[in-house]
Structure 1
Amino acid sequence: MKFDLHTHHFRCGHADDNIEDYIKAGVKAGLAVIGISDHSPYFASDQEQPNPGIAMGKSEFARYVEEVLRLKAKYEGTIDVLLGVESDFFPQHAQVYRDVYAGYPFDYIIGSVHQSRGVSIFNRNRWKNLSEEQQIDEKRHYYELIGQSARSGMFQILGHIDAMKGYYPAFSAIAADEAIDDCLKRIGESSVSIEINTSGKTKDAGGWYPSDAILERALHFGVTVSFGSDAHKPSRVGEDWELVAKRLKEIGFTEWFYYKNKKPVRVGL
């Protein structure tokens, strides 16, 4: 049974096409379940849309939900369309986001750390002129944020948990294994899943998020897994699903999960 819980569309400002185009692509790819999970607005900002090329405006959010629910009804019996959102995680603004989400019938919320210390995790320049000790501190802080997101109770899935390597492949070699292990322990204790996100292959790192090494440790700490292509164009919906399933079985996983009505649904591997 194929599913993909991580897809975007034009509202975020950096993805192509309409929601329905992704649903049609899911049908074509043989998915039984597709989740729509565009980027959350910056709810804590005083501005309507402070970053038009990154996330939708606040006034678009209700229309986004309405469109997904309409398409869910339209495609009932053909493909199960789930209402999700990829939410930024800012510890200082968590309650603002929590209050907004409480007003909508989400099937799941993906919690993703996209900024650390006010700088995008994808910004290559953040690593310039840092000492080895400073690089380790940056990596530790990143995983501390992810651990906090797991414990926040806001999310069912955590997005791309080593995405800092996306445009800085050397990130993976920074010695901070104890910080990753501590983070994975928190995730395992919090009963949230991590996604295997195949969009990493489109970045400089050239591989899925997270790495096999992190997945092996995640299994050790009892962390459950889900799947998301993180498609920003319909042609990527469901990409590498079979390859990911094969690799997870090789690592030792026997199941993965999608979420409906915020409840985990088990899918055997």
Structure 2
Amino acid sequence: MKFDLHTHHFRCGHADGNIRDYVEAALEAGLQVIGISDHTPYFGEKEDRAFPRIAMGKSELQHYVREVLDLKKEYEGRIDVLLGIESDFFPEHAETYRKFLADVPFDYIIGSVHSVGGVSIFNKNRWKGLSEQERIRVKEEYYRLIQDSARSGMFQILGHIDAMKGNFPAFSDIPADEIIDETLQTIAECGIAIEINTSGKTKLSGGWYPADAILERALHFGVDVTFGSDAHVPGRVGDERDEVARRLKDIGFREWVYFKGKDKKAVPL
């Protein structure tokens, strides 16, 4: 069973292609399951579309859901099209997000921390002038937010849990073993999966999220893993999926999971 649970399309404002393009790309890549998971609107903002190049508008959500559900029916028997979404996690707006998402028949929701202290995790300028202790404090705050997202009960999957290294590769060298282990233990206790996300290759860090060292610790703590290309162009659907599967086997994983109707489905590697 080959799947990819993390894809985007034109509605978010920074991806190319229609949803159908991603479904067709999945068929071409030999997948049996394709998850559509565009960015949630900014539910905590007053405007319909507060950040046009980051996420869809609130008024677009119903059209997004309908389109995915229609394609699910159209492609039935050829490929399983899953309705997902990638939700930001802002503790101060968590209940607002929960309310907006509760009545939608999602197969799964990916929870991703994209902002720490009001600044994008991908903003490499945030690190300028910070002392080592200040860098440690930022990294710890990032992982505390990921822990809170796991405890929220809103998500089946947590997205790219070391993506803060994306445009600042030195992030990986900031000492934080204790809080990373604490975070992985929390994720395991909450029964949530983490994704191996191959979009890191599009950033300065290269490689995948998370790093092998984190995946080794995830195995130790019994964390479930899944796969997502985080494709923003159809050509990246399923990107490096087979390589990820081989690496997970080398680390010691024997299965990974996907979600349908929010039920966890285990698939042997």
- TM-score over 0.5 for the alignment? yes
Alignment pair present for 1:155 and 2:140? no
Q: Deviation string for 1:114-157 (max 9, x for gaps)?
A: 00110000000110000000000000000000011011100000
- Aligned amino acid, residue 220 of structure 2: H
2:96 alignment partner in structure 1: 96
Alignment pair present for 1:193 and 2:200? no
Alignment pair present for 1:264 and 2:264? yes
1:219 alignment partner in structure 2: 219
- Aligned amino acid, residue 104 of structure 1: V
1:120-269 pair list within 5 angstroms: 120-269=120-269
Alpha-carbon shift at residue 263 of structure 1 (Å): 0.6
Alpha-carbon shift at residue 201 of structure 1 (Å): 1.0
Partner Cα separation in structure 2 for residue 144 and residue 233 of structure 1: 31
2:5 alignment partner in structure 1: 5
1:29 alignment partner in structure 2: 29
TM-score normalised by L of structure 1: 1.00
Partner Cα separation in structure 2 for residue 206 and residue 35 of structure 1: 23
Partner Cα separation in structure 1 for residue 265 and residue 103 of structure 2: 23
Partner Cα separation in structure 1 for residue 201 and residue 177 of structure 2: 23
Alpha-carbon shift at residue 52 of structure 1 (Å): 0.3
Give aligned-pair identity as a percent. 68
Alignment pair present for 1:109 and 2:109? yes
Partner Cα separation in structure 1 for residue 148 and residue 131 of structure 2: 26
Q: Deviation string for 1:210-240 (max 9, x for gaps)?
A: 0000000001111000000000000000000
Alpha-carbon shift at residue 44 of structure 1 (Å): 1.1
Partner Cα separation in structure 2 for residue 102 and residue 89 of structure 1: 15
Partner of 1:265, secondary structure, is strand
Q: Deviation string for 1:164-203 (max 9, x for gaps)?
A: 0000000000001111111001001000000000000111
- Aligned amino acid, residue 91 of structure 1: P
Partner of 2:73, secondary structure, is helix
Partner of 1:82, secondary structure, is strand
Partner of 1:238, secondary structure, is coil
TM-score normalised by L of structure 2: 1.00
Partner Cα separation in structure 1 for residue 2 and residue 199 of structure 2: 17
Partner of 1:40, secondary structure, is coil
Partner Cα separation in structure 1 for residue 53 and residue 75 of structure 2: 29
- Aligned amino acid, residue 58 of structure 1: K
2:63 alignment partner in structure 1: 63
Partner Cα separation in structure 1 for residue 104 and residue 139 of structure 2: 34
Partner Cα separation in structure 2 for residue 36 and residue 214 of structure 1: 26
Partner Cα separation in structure 1 for residue 147 and residue 215 of structure 2: 16
- Aligned amino acid, residue 138 of structure 1: V
1:18 alignment partner in structure 2: 18
- Aligned amino acid, residue 258 of structure 1: Y
Partner Cα separation in structure 1 for residue 132 and residue 14 of structure 2: 33
